Amino acid sequence: MENTNPTRLAIAATLHCLTGCAIGEVLGMVIGTALGWSDLATIALAVVLAFVFGYALTIRPVLRSGLPLARAIRVALVADTVSIAVMELVDNGVMLAVPGAMRAGLADPLFWGSLAGALAVAFAVTVPVNRALIVRGRGHAVVHQHHHGGHHPSAPTAS
């Protein structure tokens, strides 16, 4: 990993994180909005689903690398928690800041435009966070080690 550009790796890690977060976030926002839930309930569902999908997208390839499930879960938790948390905080903060976005219906372009914009802002904010983690051998760097069969000293070890 020493020869890998940390900014490129951070962008790739953030795109990976964005994929899981976007699946969960969109699903949660759609469900909450369609059911007429409160902003808090809708955001809570979206955040929970973003973490579930974000971790799942990390666990799957780590399992393919040969790690047992319990260790793969630990790797995902170590690798993705900060990234997903930052992305969710920013994304939902933007959604709340856009007047009318949380009350817009599913057919309203304001809903979809705000959600897309919120995810874009969250991506931009999360890239430098992931870069800082990667440079320190944390975050997605832990997953990167398992993708390439290596081991990083900061990677979680089997208990």
Main-chain phi, psi angles of 95, to 5 degrees? -60, -40
- Under 8 Å between Cβ of 96 and 117: no
Compute the distance between CA of residue 90 and CA of residue 126 in angstroms, rounded to an integer.
Answer: 9
Average pLDDT over residues 56-71: 90
Q: Using the 8-state DSSP alphabet, how is residue 100 labeled? A: T
pLDDT at 149 over 60: no
Compute the distance between CA of residue 61 and CA of residue 59 in angstroms, rounded to an integer.
Answer: 6
> What is the signed CA dihedral for 82, 85, 86, 88, rounded to 10 degrees?
160
Compute the distance between CA of residue 32 and CA of residue 26 in angstroms, rounded to an integer.
Answer: 10
Token pair listed for 143:
């997953």
Compute the distance between CA of residue 126 and CA of residue 50 in angstroms, rounded to an integer.
Answer: 15
What's the predicted TM-score (pTM) here? 0.83
Tens of pLDDT, residues 133-143: 999 888 766 66
